[in-house]
Amino acid sequence: MSLYRYLVILCAVCTIVNGCDRQDAAKPSQPVVIALSNDVDTFNPLFASDATTGELNDLIFPSLVTPSFDTASGELHFSPSLAKSFEFSNDLKDITFHLHSNVFWSDSVPITAYDVQTTFSLYADPQVGSVRQSAADGMIKKSDGSVDIAKSVEVIDDTTVVFHFRQTYPGQLFDAGLPLLPAHIFDKISRKDLRTHESNRKPVGAGPYRLRSWTPMQEIVLEPNPLSPIVTTAKSPVLVFRIVPEYRSQLNQLKSGEIDMLLSLEAADAAAVTGGSQQISLVRIPARRYHFIGWNNIDQQSYAASGGKVILPHPLFGDARVRRALTLAIDRLKLLEALLNNYGVLAVGPIAPFFHWAYNDSLQPYAYDPQEARLQLQQLGWKPVGREKVLQKDGREFSFALCVPTGSPFWSSVATIVQEQLRAVNVKATIEHVERAVYWQSLQEKKYDAWIAGFEVPLQMQQQEFWSSDLAKNPFNISSYRNARVDQLLTAAQFSTDPRDAGKMWKELQSILHRDQPFTFLFWEDRIVAMNSHLRGTAINVLGTFQSAPQWSH
């Protein structure tokens, strides 16, 4: 009996003590709690492949310039960050950066131009195998093809560094603005062991934040870095990232106040969430992600059998008129309304509407017209046959497998609805779920006839790998679309630095893609960030969520 009583008292004491700690909620330096769906894989920008990990690394590591997005024109502008100033040379092939002097890494070692050179030699080094290796493409190369780092990133003195590029291209400042790494740490590590080295878990940076603790699978805590040369962090809050894999749990925790920010709210919950007792405000960011139904434009069997030499149009989807008819048969407005609650816009091509300088707003999205679709298919020789009235031509049925990766309920929903709408025009689609891990690989190997996918577009215009006709070199051209004029436009636009010129080319590209419909472009999905109304100073935009984190406050 006494044991029992003791236990009861102990429980009561614990609860009271715990409750007391929780009530001290109104401290000024209260941390901001953000929910993440996945854990960070590594705190090293060389290897981090996740977008959120990239944002966290941007908070920890400094860079020469920071991007800012001009919403009116849709252009990316760069302003000096670690560099005090920078100027282009006359032929625009060289950029000189002047660094601040008397600036230090978080372990109090001075930052010099040598750090910049070491960083870029790491990015470019094939031994390291960084995921950002493409940044080195524009650099000066040696005769054997490897990057000549001494010539590309020239150290003049401790605070001056000059970037020499092979030619001028729009992404020069973007590539030069990659996160910088401390040379005094990375010089001591053998390049082969870099990937698994312990320093990836204890990063040393000079950004506004530094890593206080990382409990794998649970929590990441970033605290303000007092030595940061980039911003003053006296009033910056501590950032706590909690890893909550279930979306529903994230939502419940936001509502109960356990977390302050949810990074992507589903559109269906938008209305419900703002009407609760806890005040939650929403920020709607224009779409960077578009969804599409992909059609395989070529016959993959003959392509694979001949090792990539024989390229024939796909028996069902090879003809652009068929693809256009299929686009007419899909009620994309209804999909947008039903699945995304209208948090998005219809897509006419792969270029996002917020790139005002490149977006062709004269293109009208195809209207939903199943009668017209049926008519067009009939004119192309597809006739309904049999009890089920499936379209047939030359003995071939218009039936195919529509592939969707597992673990993506949104695309499954889209697929289910698309299947129904195609059935209304007598096209038979069966849904096939493919395991996520092999999905992208199989797409690049062109294994599927039709599929549903989505792309997140970077802020640097990057369309070459998606629409170039050289299929062997561009595995990301997953629809295998080929068009000579598109190739011309892509090459020209890739190196044009004048947005007006480049803009004209991109607009023409879009009208060609809109006419040919290599994909049925569905819609651009807006992102909704839900957060505690008490949070001030958040300037969340297309660039990302955390770039204004040092200015946040409760």
Binding string, 341-370, against another protein, x = CB under 8 A?
Answer: -----------------------------x
Query: Which position has the token pair 């597809």?
Result: 382
Shortest distance, CB of residue 192 to another protein, whole angstroms? Answer: 8
Among 70, 158, 361, 420, binds another protein (CB under 8 A): 420
Contact at 8 Å (CB) between 162 and 27?
A: no
Instruction: For residue 390, give the 3-state DSSP assignment.
Output: strand
Question: Distance (Å, rounded) from C-alpha 528 to C-alpha 542?
Answer: 11
Question: Distance (Å, rounded) from C-alpha 483 to C-alpha 298?
Answer: 13
Helix extents (H) in 274-408: 300-305, 320-328, 332-340, 370-379
Comparing CB distances to another protein, the nearer of 203 and 229 is: 203
Q: Which parts of 313-332 interact with another protein (CB under 8 A)?
A: none
Shortest distance, CB of residue 360 to another protein, whole angstroms? Answer: 29
Shortest distance, CB of residue 404 to another protein, whole angstroms? Answer: 9
Please report whether residue 554 would count as binding another protein according to CB under 8 A.
no
Comparing CB distances to another protein, the nearer of 16 and 72 is: 16
Please report whether residue 304 would count as binding another protein according to CB under 8 A.
no
Question: Distance (Å, rounded) from C-alpha 356 to C-alpha 72?
Answer: 7
Shortest distance, CB of residue 263 to another protein, whole angstroms? Answer: 15
Q: Which parts of 55-84 interact with another protein (CB under 8 A)?
A: none
Shortest distance, CB of residue 534 to another protein, whole angstroms? Answer: 15
Question: Distance (Å, rounded) from C-alpha 361 to C-alpha 390?
Answer: 37
Contact at 8 Å (CB) between 163 and 117?
A: no
Give the range of 70-78, 112-120, 352-360, 433-441 binding another protein by CB under 8 A.
433-441
What pairs with residue 296 in β-bridges? Answer: none
Q: Which parts of 116-155 interact with another protein (CB under 8 A)?
A: 126-127, 129-131, 133-134
Shortest distance, CB of residue 233 to another protein, whole angstroms? Answer: 18
Q: Which parts of 388-417 interact with another protein (CB under 8 A)?
A: 389, 406-407, 409, 412-413, 416-417
Distance in angstroms between the alpha carbons of the first and the last residue of the chain: 49
Please report whether residue 242 would count as binding another protein according to CB under 8 A.
yes
Shortest distance, CB of residue 419 to another protein, whole angstroms? Answer: 8
Two tokens, residue 188: 């001591």
Handedness of CA 370, 371, 374, 376 (dihedral sign): negative
Q: Which parts of 206-235 interact with another protein (CB under 8 A)?
A: 213, 215-219
Two tokens, residue 51: 């977008």
Comparing CB distances to another protein, the nearer of 230 and 254 is: 254
Q: Of 367, 381, 440, 378, nearest to 407 (Cα)?
A: 440
Instruction: For residue 250, give the 3-state DSSP assignment.
Output: helix
Q: Of 141, 142, 125, nearest to 133 (Cα)?
A: 125
Among 77, 202, 248, 534, binds another protein (CB under 8 A): 248
Question: How many other C-beta atoms lie within 10 A of the C-beta of residue 538?
Answer: 19
Tally of helices (H runs) and strands (E runs) in the chain: 17, 20
Give the range of 255-263, 450-458, 481-489, 494-502 binding another protein by CB under 8 A.
255-263
Residues 6+ apart with CB under 8 A from 61: 45, 179, 180, 181, 203, 205, 206, 207
CA-atom Rg of the chain in angstroms: 27
Give the range of 74-82, 254-262, 452-460, 510-518 binding another protein by CB under 8 A.
254-262
Among 7, 305, 312, 437, binds another protein (CB under 8 A): 437
Q: Which parts of 24-53 interact with another protein (CB under 8 A)?
A: 31, 33, 41-42, 47
Q: Which parts of 473-512 interact with another protein (CB under 8 A)?
A: 475
